[in-house]
A and B are shown apart, each in its own frame.
Chain A
Amino acid sequence: MIAIENLSVSYGAVQALRDVTFRAETGQITAVLGANGAGKTTLLRTISGLKEPKSGTIAMDERMLVHQKTEDIARMGVGHVPEGRGVIGEFTVEENLRLGAMMAKVNLKSGLEEQYEQFPVLGERRKQHAAKLSGGERQMLAMARALIAKPSVLLLDEPSLGLAPLVTAQLMHTIRSLCETNDLTVILVEQNASSALRIAQRAVVLHVGQVVANDAASVVAADENLRQYYLGLVE
């Protein structure tokens, strides 16, 4: 579980997040939605310690994450798949996965087998450089690299970016089943609101750094005002 309270973050004079408060429960997907510049990526970067907040708290179960180093937060079990996937193109698929497994002290062999079973295409391309993979395959690799460390929290930043609709649908299905089978706390940042709302249990809508809605995903999906003014979902 991740509990965020009164979180404010700024870049110089520009306030990116203002008094953001919400909880992401274990075993659930919490979608964070909003337009470009709403503060979604900043939120994930702050949870991971890449950005220091101005005020407010972030707790994972009973532990405070604020003021901790990014690498320590990762070692506590927060997996972050950044925007643009962040796979290391110069590394092979297997080297990317090895790097993910290293810090978590999990058994490499069984970890690899598990991920290749989950994402068979990665097994077929284990010796290939990540730069040679397609966009969808890279996204699979980025997720597998986070999952191999057995995280309890998974932060996903725009996983559907640049993917074809069919691939996005498959990806969302995978995220849902991973969350259920591993009892993960998933915070899913998406511009593709309709895809995210289809798999999420909760949804938080951000608008210029502020929470304008925090409710069950089905409620947010049915709210005409939210759909029209904040999510760009016009029928």
Chain B
Amino acid sequence: MDAFLTSRIIADVLGGLTNGVIYGMVALSLVLIWRSTGVLNFAQGAMPMFATYVGFALLSYHFGYWLCAVAALIVGLAVGGLTERLVVRGLYGKPEINPIVVMVGFLIVLEAVAAAIWSSFPRSLPSPFSSIDWQLGGHPVSLSPFTVYEIGAAIVVMLAVAALFRFTNLGLQLRASALAPEVSRLLGVRVGRLLTLGWMLSTAVGVVTTILVSSNFFTGLTPQVNDGIFAFGFIAAAVGGLESPVGAIVAGVSLGIILQFVQDYLNSNAQIIVALVVLIVALMVRPNGVFTKSSLRRV
């Protein structure tokens, strides 16, 4: 294989990986909510977008990038918790269409309010890492300090979520509340609080995603920043299986890499078509998702 083709493939894989971890994280946050409350959160992009705007409003008061990021995470936790308590709690056990309609409405409201307060012009968050690719022997290697930061942060978040669920008592209670709420209550688990916590965590994961995307000079933060990412994240969650956190991440990363090749070898407009084809084929072959073990689910 000639050197040009090799470097092009490497560039596509790395670029796809960067997008893929973002899709994987969106899919992961969707799965966290679906597993614990049975709600498909269509405002999963808008809620962290709003929190990121609030956190990074501190830039005007000369706070640094990292302090703003921490503030955005804290606001994200609050937005997630309040949404669960005030908007979603009354929807549990209702027909599945009810939460979908409410969350789509909530998405529209949040984006409109954000545009009214902060305008729709992209504002680039001042990333502490350079987006200029490193050079190797005089050639760029499709890898910049910013890309490493983006992939590294996404991996750290995914590992942290996995460790929380696998190794801690809190994770055990979160999983139990999602799998068997009534049995969990009989064992003294405060299921209501844990559902709130699930929404808080999921929104916080979304805030990390939003910060990473908005810190990219070419994207910036807008009220619609997460709309496209949400669409691909949603497809990843459906392909991987809404019950499977691992499936969500693997499907997200795979989708990112596939779409990067599509963009490179076809064009960027073909990406959504290919993504939908992947979704349709995957759902025809494995209706419950590629990584879900369970059998039938009511839809």
A-side contacts of B183, CB under 8 Å: 82, 86, 88
- Which one, A50, A69, A90, A145, contacts B187 given CB within 8 A? A145
A42 proximal to B (CB < 8 A): no
Complex contact B186–A86 (CB within 8 A):
yes
Q: How many residues on A have C-beta within 8 angstroms of the other chain's C-beta atoms?
A: 22
B-side contacts of A74, CB under 8 Å: 185-188
User: Contact string, A62-100, partner B, CB cutoff 8 A, digits 1/0?
Assistant: 000000011100110000101000101011000100111
A-side contacts of B185, CB under 8 Å: 50, 69-71, 74
Q: Which chain A residues (127-145) contact chain B, with CB distance < 8 Å?
A: 145
User: Contact string, A19-43, partner B, CB cutoff 8 A, digits 1/0?
Assistant: 0000000000000000000000000
A149 proximal to B (CB < 8 A): yes
User: Contact string, B165-198, partner A, CB cutoff 8 A, digits 1/0?
Assistant: 0000100110110011011111111110000000
Report the minimum CB–CB distance from B51 to chain A (whole Å): 30
Complex contact B186–A48 (CB within 8 A):
yes
* Total CB contacts across the A-B interface at under 8 A: 58
Please give me the residue from chain B that is nearest to A49 by CB atom.
Answer: B185
Q: Which chain B residues (133-189) contact chain A, with CB distance < 8 Å?
A: 169, 172-173, 175-176, 179-180, 182-189
A103 proximal to B (CB < 8 A): yes
By size class, the interface of chain B is 10 to 19
Report the minimum CB–CB distance from A109 to chain B (whole Å): 14
B-side contacts of A98, CB under 8 Å: 169, 172
Distance in angstroms between the alpha carbons of A170 and B176 in the assembled complex:
30
Complex contact B180–A103 (CB within 8 A):
no
Complex contact A50–B188 (CB within 8 A):
no
Complex contact A102–B172 (CB within 8 A):
yes
- Which one, A48, A90, A99, contacts B173 given CB within 8 A? A99
Q: Is the interface of B mostly helix, strand, loop or mixed?
A: helix
A-side contacts of B173, CB under 8 Å: 99, 102
A104 proximal to B (CB < 8 A): yes
Complex contact A71–B188 (CB within 8 A):
yes
| Contact A71 to B189, CB < 8 A, known contacts A95-B172, A102-B173 | yes
Distance in angstroms between the alpha carbons of A74 and B169 in the assembled complex:
18
- Which one, A82, A99, A149, contacts B172 given CB within 8 A? A99
Complex contact A88–B186 (CB within 8 A):
no
Distance in angstroms between the alpha carbons of A91 and B182 in the assembled complex:
16
Complex contact A75–B186 (CB within 8 A):
no
Complex contact A103–B187 (CB within 8 A):
yes
Complex contact B176–A99 (CB within 8 A):
yes
Interface centre among A48, A71, A86, A98 (most CB of B within 10 A): A71
Complex contact B176–A71 (CB within 8 A):
no
Distance in angstroms between the alpha carbons of A100 and B173 in the assembled complex:
10
Complex contact A88–B188 (CB within 8 A):
no
A-side contacts of B188, CB under 8 Å: 71, 74-75, 102-104, 149
B-side contacts of A69, CB under 8 Å: 185
Please give me the residue from chain A that is nearest to B193 by CB atom.
Answer: A71
Distance in angstroms between the alpha carbons of A103 and B176 in the assembled complex:
13
Distance in angstroms between the alpha carbons of A212 and B185 in the assembled complex:
32
Distance in angstroms between the alpha carbons of A102 and B184 in the assembled complex:
11
Report the minimum CB–CB distance from A185 to chain B (whole Å): 17
Distance in angstroms between the alpha carbons of A69 and B188 in the assembled complex:
9
Report the minimum CB–CB distance from A181 to chain B (whole Å): 22
| Contact A103 to B189, CB < 8 A, known contacts A88-B176, A88-B180 | yes
Please give me the residue from chain B that is nearest to A84 by CB atom.
Answer: B183
Please give me the residue from chain B that is nearest to A145 by CB atom.
Answer: B187
Distance in angstroms between the alpha carbons of A50 and B187 in the assembled complex:
12
A-side contacts of B191, CB under 8 Å: 71
Complex contact B186–A70 (CB within 8 A):
yes
Complex contact A91–B176 (CB within 8 A):
yes
Distance in angstroms between the alpha carbons of A48 and B169 in the assembled complex:
24
Distance in angstroms between the alpha carbons of A70 and B175 in the assembled complex:
19
Q: Which chain A residues (108-165) contact chain B, with CB distance < 8 Å?
A: 145, 149
Complex contact A86–B169 (CB within 8 A):
no
B-side contacts of A71, CB under 8 Å: 185, 188-191
A-B contact pairs, 24 of them (CB 8 A): A69-B185, A71-B185, A74-B186, A74-B187, A75-B188, A82-B182, A82-B183, A86-B183, A90-B179, A91-B175, A91-B179, A95-B172, A98-B169, A99-B173, A99-B176, A99-B184, A99-B187, A99-B189, A102-B169, A102-B172, A102-B173, A103-B188, A145-B187, A149-B188
**Could you list 4 further interchain pairs (A-B, Cβ under 8 angstroms) beyond the known A71-B185, A74-B187?**
A70-B185, A82-B182, A82-B183, A104-B188
Contacts from A to B (Cβ < 8 Å):
48, 50, 69-71, 74-75, 80, 82, 86, 88, 90-91, 95, 98-100, 102-104, 145, 149
